[in-house]
Amino acid sequence: MTIAPDTETAWTAFEARDRAWDGRFVVGVKTTGIYCKPSCPARHPKRENVTFHPDPPSARAAGFRACLRCTPDEVGRDRTAIAAAVVLLEAAEDRLSLDEVAAKVGYAPHHFHRLFKRATGVTPAAYARALRTGRAANALSEDTTVTEAIYDAGYSAPSRFYEADAKRLGMAPSAWARGGEGVTIRWTTADTSLGALFVAATEKGLCRVSFDEDADELHRRFPNATIEPGDEALADLAAQVVAAVESPDRDQDLPLDVRGTAFQEAIWQALRTIPIGETRTYSELAALAGRPAAVRAAGTACGQNPVSIVIPCHRAQRIGGALGGYAYGLDRKRALLAAEAPRADQRADLQE
């Protein structure tokens, strides 16, 4: 049985119509005798007229009936279907079409496409591409030839890899196999109120943003790459990253050259959707990535984020408001969140 969150958290999620909480509790409305999912679009009742229940059976046992507008009983089915689709995509040796995946989990293609993207942040096709790219990257570090690695990753031909997914590796696949050989990565450091910031980038975008590091980290990750101090272009890019630290009220859209597993990338994408001044729990991030039970893995993915600040892993926390961990120290995490808080207050004022 699932466990409902504390009433304060549940009410906040219900007020915000937060879809990330759908399937994790339902709301009983005393005045109407119905129960709803947290994101129900109907007008909200007064707080004293609601009760929170961990799941639909609990609400029905308390005398409530399902809302016909938000159909809360369907949420569990949706999550089960998405989890099943993820298993299918990860196990598939050949490419599966949207129609095939949707049929196997019992949904119409267009409806399932919408459900999957809403839950994971990416389409089924994008999720499958990320899986293949991850396999290719792993194979490239082990196989003797690029062609072998591409076939081992599940591509029908090398051309399919180069047409669709090679750019996701951030460098040529042969360079990846040789530890970054032939790739130039430039780095610099910049002073911020939180300490020295290390910034590194390829020609395509940022590949490392961190505190308390130096070029040794790049040599470890890409032992055969050309690693050298940055130029004027990198200085401009670094200045924008510093601005994201010092002036978090401004949205930044910076080029990235990072990759991870499909799950990591889904978590990182979910982190980038969090509005400035807000936070999400690791449970919410796991749900957005299509793996509601993978809470610990979501925390690990946050810790493995290669470009802090730009992918704002400091906005992840535990249920109940505990900060959780942060690779560069909790004092920095508190400072980043405190600097962003006014942005949330401004939004609240505009909504009143």
Q: Which residues pair with 53 in a beta bridge?
A: 26
Which residue type, as a one-letter code, is found at position 224?
N
CA angle at 321 for the pair 316 and 324, rounded to the nearest 5° = 50
Nearest by Cα to 133 from 162, 109, 113: 162
Q: Which of 40, 67, 302, 313 is catalytic?
A: 313
Contact (Cβ atoms closer than 8 angstroms) between residue 77 and residue 85: no
How many angstroms from the chain centroid is the CA of residue 121?
7
Residue 227, classed as helix, strand or coil, is strand
149 phi and psi, to 5 degrees? -65, -40
The two three-digit tokens of residue 235, written as one number: 């200085």
Which residue type, as a one-letter code, is found at position 58?
S
Reply yes or no on whether 313 is catalytic: yes
The Cα 293–Cα 284 span in angstroms is 10
Residue 18, classed as helix, strand or coil, is coil
Q: Which residues pair with 22 in a beta bridge?
A: 25
Largest CA distance in the chain: 68
Q: Which of 36, 40, 67, 207 is catalytic?
A: 36
Residue in the structure block whose two tokens are 């509601």: 292
The Cα 88–Cα 78 span in angstroms is 15
Give every strand in the sheet of 26-29, ordered side by side.
50-53, 26-29, 34-36, 65-66
The Cα 182–Cα 171 span in angstroms is 9
Report the run of H or E that residue 67 belongs to, with start and end.
Answer: none
Residues annotated as catalytic (active site), given as ranges: 36, 313
